[in-house]
Amino acid sequence: MRYLLLSMLALSILLSACGSSAGSTGAKDAVEGYITALAANDEAGLSALSCADWESSALTELDSLQAVTATVDGLSCSQSGTDGDTALVTCTGKLVLSYNGEDQELDLSTRTYRVVQQNGNWLVCGAQ
């Protein structure tokens, strides 16, 4: 009985350690997916990766890119901190916007994304 109790305790500690690691990965992956969906003009993907409070802002961002061809160059994101239940994610790389043969680059490191977990999914819920 004692062995069983110790085994269950060890397993629960191990699982909670895995859960916290997966959380930061999930937040990072959500932002990378969000930026990729933005560049691909993927409205459904962008909506799926946005919380309800941020979805209209995400779609406004998408609308602003309708006249350009966007590509992502060198995207890499990581969780940079937390703010209560919100994960803060920063990225490196750039969004390259092409219009009429001219390119303009947007540095992705200038924004910090706010990411929340809702119903088991990490969702972008703002940027600063």
Parse the chain into domains and list their residue ranges.
24-127
pLDDT for 45: 96
pLDDT for 51: 96
**Mean pLDDT of the region 65-79:** 96
The total number of residues written for the chain in this structure: 128
Measured CA distances, 30 to 21, 96, 122 (Å): 15, 20, 6
pLDDT tier, 24 (very low <50, low <70, confident <90, very high otherwise)? low
| Nearest Cα to Cα of residue 107 among 117, 96, 118 | 96
pLDDT at 76 over 50: yes
| Nearest Cα to Cα of residue 41 among 60, 65, 74, 57 | 65
The CATH number given to 24-127 is 3.10.450.50
Give the mean pLDDT of the chain.
84
pTM here?
0.80
pLDDT at 47 over 70: yes
Using alpha carbons only, what angle is made at residue 41 by residues 38 and 45, rounded to the nearest 5 degrees? Answer: 70
